[in-house]
Amino acid sequence: MANTSSQGRSNRELLEELGVEIKQEKKAVRTPKEERIIAGFEEIQRFVDENGHVPEHGEYKDIFERLYATRLDQIGKQEECRALVEDMDYQGLLSGDLKVAEPPAEYKTDKELLAELGIDAPKEGDVTFLKHVKSQAEKKAAEEIANRTPCEDFESVEPLFNQVKDDLHSGNRKTLRFGQDTSIEQGNFFILGGLVAYVAEIGKEFKAPNGEKDARLRVIYSNRTESDLLMRSLQRALYKDESGRRITDASFGPLFDDEVEEDDLASGTIYVLRSKSDHPAIAENRELIHKIGVTGSAVDQRVANAKYDPTYLMADVEIVATYELYNINRSKLERLLHRFFEDSKLNIEIKDRFGKPVSPREWFLVPLFVIDEVVKKVKDGTIGEYWYDIGAATLIKGS
């Protein structure tokens, strides 16, 4: 009878009689507000992945960067928001572990500043000991950069800005971090504070108080303003701006440099990923399906949160190949690779963590050895002579 009685009881009743606590898992239901907060935080994460630094405030920063900076501040201040995204924060944005490097100061130490003024540096504790001194030249440079007026004849130079924009998009020009070459000549283009800056005129050269050569410039910006500033002020501003860049002339040689010189700038990495998803279509063709991308940050950092990201098929991934780039236009190269494999793009729909259907891009039905061969053709400049035969899984030379 006891057995019959036991069988008649539910599993829940038996577990309760044995003193086993039953924990019922509850499926998290997000409110529209919570979904917006999570989506907004993911946008900030993508910005950091692509740019290598946290978004910053600043009058001359891109409007989206300023928006992300404000959003990150608000999430960090509100405990409710922090708790919502803390588990996603693989970059350490909320804890401040990922920090933007301080730009080089004009004077690295107080001692250097005092030495230039001809004063012996006092010992710490002395009433004349200086801390956090900012030079007058630095203050003046910042004022000159900020002092812009409307450019009355912008129409006469607008075609030049349009051409530079087209050249950057096509890859006929590239951008280099300002610092290797600090020269400034008439006709040069730069990126300063998120704007394209054109050196329209250079005045008569003169000697600055410190003995160095200087000149007054007329600089026109892509937002239809201009400024009358010293060459040294522009050099300082470009050097201190984290995103300050020199725009090269229209012809800059091959897409890749064959050899890495000591002063080359590492521009990023081509990465090839393989999904660990248990989706039937992916599991059956795992060795053939690859994601191809280009990044300026560490690849392992970029994919650390893959299982939460529909871009990576909501699953962990395996890094199967990487190719380091030097002096390369990352976005141009990525477009080239995706366009080359366009016909073999994987057509699949999955659901994100909110249950919404998404169709991830950048996944292709291409064997790894073919991708390796394509990268070699890109490096030697012959990729334009080939096309990918999907059926034969090989490169074919000819139109």
Q: Per residue in 109-119, is it b (16+ CB within 10 Å) or e — as a string? A: ebeebbeeeee
Q: What is the mean pLDDT of residues 121-143?
A: 46
pLDDT band at 318 (very low <50, low <70, confident <90, very high): very high
Say yes or no to pLDDT of 198 above 90: yes
CB 268 within 8 A of CB 330: yes
pLDDT, position 221: 93
Q: What is the mean pLDDT of residues 242-265?
A: 57
Q: Which two tokens stand for residue 169?
A: 């998009």
pLDDT, position 269: 85
The residue with greater pLDDT, 89 or 267, is 89
Instruction: Enter the pTM of the model.
Output: 0.39
pLDDT band at 23 (very low <50, low <70, confident <90, very high): low
Q: Which two tokens stand for residue 92?
A: 């350490």
Say yes or no to pLDDT of 288 above 50: yes
The whole-angstrom separation of Cα 264 and Cα 309 is 33
Lowest mean pLDDT among 125-129, 246-250, 267-271: 125-129
Maximum alpha-carbon separation in the chain: 110
Q: What is the mean pLDDT of residues 274-295?
A: 89
pLDDT, position 370: 93
pLDDT, position 273: 94
pLDDT, position 111: 54
pLDDT band at 319 (very low <50, low <70, confident <90, very high): very high
